[in-house]
């Protein structure tokens, strides 16, 4: 009896255990899923940055960038103002020079354009005898037909188309013609002679021997002697020739009323001449007008 009872109890325990096993399995499964889900949420929380942190960081970075851009913009404006200020200062200096009527403001003196053997600086001797003794000083004799009478040198202005020696232009007129003298090429326009240079075209002395067909407007007739006249314009002398009008050196004793820009007063002893190129002009007075005479300079005479 006791054995049957024990067996019956054992069977009951087994049945109860079998009945409870699915419940435990389901509970374990639910517990496992809960743990897995919590673990996944924790991982997601670690990978996803804090929204406030992101916005705060971006905001700070954006503010910093805006500050830097504003600072750079202000700096660039200051630098631009500084550059403009310096440029305006330089421009004002140029304007000041122009206000003083410095007609040499466009003359590029750094360029020494030498045209050998063609400079109209050698004075031709006159066939008229001098009735006055020369002025002698420093081993030279200065011959003139008229008595010396000083008056200040004031350059004459021949108009906007005329330019002094050394003046540089970027372009020349399409009406300019090309003249070749002793293998040197010149561009001629309206009484002015140019040679091509690196920065454009530079005005030079009229080359002796150059021939043009038409004289510049406003040219003047000057008396050389009883049989010869020259034509004078802007410091250049022309003589009638078969081809037109040819550039010639000034002849001693020739009288002109005006000298162009580019001359300088040179004091020799007690006499002040005007030197234009290598030609000396003596100031004198004729019929109440200030005039200049081409001087004949002889070396080694006392």
**86 lies in the same domain as 144:** no
3-state SS assignment for residue 299: strand
Distance CA 155, CA 102 (A): 12
Distance CA 255, CA 295 (A): 10
Res 116: pLDDT: 42
Distance CA 296, CA 302 (A): 15
**Do 247 and 208 touch, CB atoms closer than 8 A?**
yes
Q: Is residue 76 part of a domain?
A: yes
**Residue 283 pLDDT more than 90?**
yes
Q: Is residue 108 part of a domain?
A: no
Contacts within 8 Å (CB) and 24+ apart, 272-281: 272/150, 273/142, 274/153, 276/235, 277/119, 277/120, 277/121, 277/165, 277/205, 277/235, 278/119, 278/121, 278/122, 279/120, 279/121, 279/123, 279/250, 280/142, 281/256
**155 lies in the same domain as 284:** yes
**58 lies in the same domain as 142:** no
**Residue 232 pLDDT more than 80?**
yes
Mean per-residue pLDDT, 285-289: 97
Q: Is residue 7 part of a domain?
A: yes
Q: Of the given ranges (34-38, 48-52, 223-227), which has the lowest mean pLDDT?
A: 48-52
Res 84: pLDDT: 43
Q: Is residue 198 part of a domain?
A: yes
Question: At which of 95, 124, 156 does a domain end?
Answer: 95
**81 lies in the same domain as 142:** no
**272 lies in the same domain as 221:** yes
Question: At which of 95, 115, 145 does a domain end?
Answer: 95
**Do 229 and 191 touch, CB atoms closer than 8 A?**
no
**89 lies in the same domain as 175:** no
Q: Is residue 241 part of a domain?
A: yes
**143 lies in the same domain as 201:** yes
Domain range enclosing 45: 2-95
Higher pLDDT, residue 24 or 169 = 169
Higher pLDDT, residue 149 or 101 = 149
**156 lies in the same domain as 257:** yes
- What is the per-residue pLDDT across 162-212, written as a single tens digit (0 to 9) for each? 999 999 999 999 999 999 999 999 999 999 999 999 889 999 999 999 999
**Residue 216 pLDDT more than 70?**
yes
**63 lies in the same domain as 149:** no
Mean per-residue pLDDT, 295-299: 95
User: 232: burial class by Cβ within 10 Å (0-12, 13-18, 19+)?
Assistant: buried
Res 26: pLDDT: 52
Distance CA 86, CA 48 (A): 56
**Residue 293 pLDDT more than 50?**
yes
Res 182: pLDDT: 93
**165 lies in the same domain as 282:** yes
Q: Is residue 48 part of a domain?
A: yes
**Residue 6 pLDDT more than 70?**
no
Distance CA 124, CA 143 (A): 13
- Which of the four pLDDT bands, split at 50, 70 and 90, describes residue 89? very low
3-state SS assignment for residue 95: helix
Handedness of CA 124, 130, 135, 140 (dihedral sign): positive
Mean per-residue pLDDT, 264-284: 97
**Do 206 and 246 touch, CB atoms closer than 8 A?**
no
Q: How many folded domains does the chain comprise?
A: 2
Average pLDDT over the chain reads: 76
Q: How far is CA 58 from the centre of its chain?
A: 50
Q: Is residue 101 part of a domain?
A: no
**82 lies in the same domain as 193:** no
3-state SS assignment for residue 71: helix
**Residue 23 pLDDT more than 70?**
no
Distance CA 227, CA 238 (A): 15
**Do 94 and 105 touch, CB atoms closer than 8 A?**
yes
Q: Is residue 11 part of a domain?
A: yes
Question: At which of 70, 95, 120 does a domain end?
Answer: 95
Res 11: pLDDT: 75
**Do 206 and 119 touch, CB atoms closer than 8 A?**
no
- Which of the four pLDDT bands, split at 50, 70 and 90, describes residue 120? very low
**146 lies in the same domain as 285:** yes
Q: How far, CA to CA in Å, does 283 sit from each of 123, 151, 238?
A: 17, 6, 22
């Amino acid at each position: 009896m006791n054995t049957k009872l024990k067996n019956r109890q054992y069977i009951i325990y087994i049945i109860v255990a079998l009945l409870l096993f699915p419940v435990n399995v389901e509970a374990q499964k639910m517990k496992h899923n809960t743990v897995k889900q919590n673990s996944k949420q924790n991982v997601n929380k670690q990978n996803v940055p804090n929204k406030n942190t992101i916005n705060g960081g971006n905001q700070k970075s954006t503010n910093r960038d805006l500050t830097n851009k504003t600072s750079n913009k202000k700096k660039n404006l200051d630098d631009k103002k500084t550059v403009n200020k310096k440029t305006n200062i330089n421009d004002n200096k140029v304007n000041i020079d122009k206000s003083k009527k410095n007609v040499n403001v466009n003359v590029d003196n750094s360029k020494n354009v030498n045209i050998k053997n063609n400079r109209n600086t050698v004075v031709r001797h006159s066939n008229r005898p001098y009735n006055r003794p020369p002025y002698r000083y420093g081993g030279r004799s200065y011959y003139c037909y008229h008595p010396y009478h000083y008056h200040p040198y004031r350059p004459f202005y021949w108009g906007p188309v005329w330019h002094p020696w050394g003046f540089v232009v970027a372009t020349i007129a399409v009406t300019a013609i090309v003249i070749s003298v002793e293998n040197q090429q010149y561009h001629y326009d309206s009484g002015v002679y140019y040679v091509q240079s690196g920065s454009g075209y530079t005005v030079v002395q009229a080359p002796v021997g150059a021939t043009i067909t038409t004289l510049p407007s406003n040219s003047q007739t000057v008396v050389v002697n009883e049989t010869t006249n020259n034509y004078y314009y802007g410091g250049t002398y022309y003589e009638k020739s078969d081809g037109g009008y040819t550039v010639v050196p000034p002849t001693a004793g020739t009288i002109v009323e005006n000298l162009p820009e580019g001359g300088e007063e040179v004091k020799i002893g007690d006499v002040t001449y005007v030197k234009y190129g290598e030609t000396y002009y003596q100031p004198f007075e004729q019929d109440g007008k200030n005039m200049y005479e081409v001087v004949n300079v002889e070396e080694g005479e006392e």
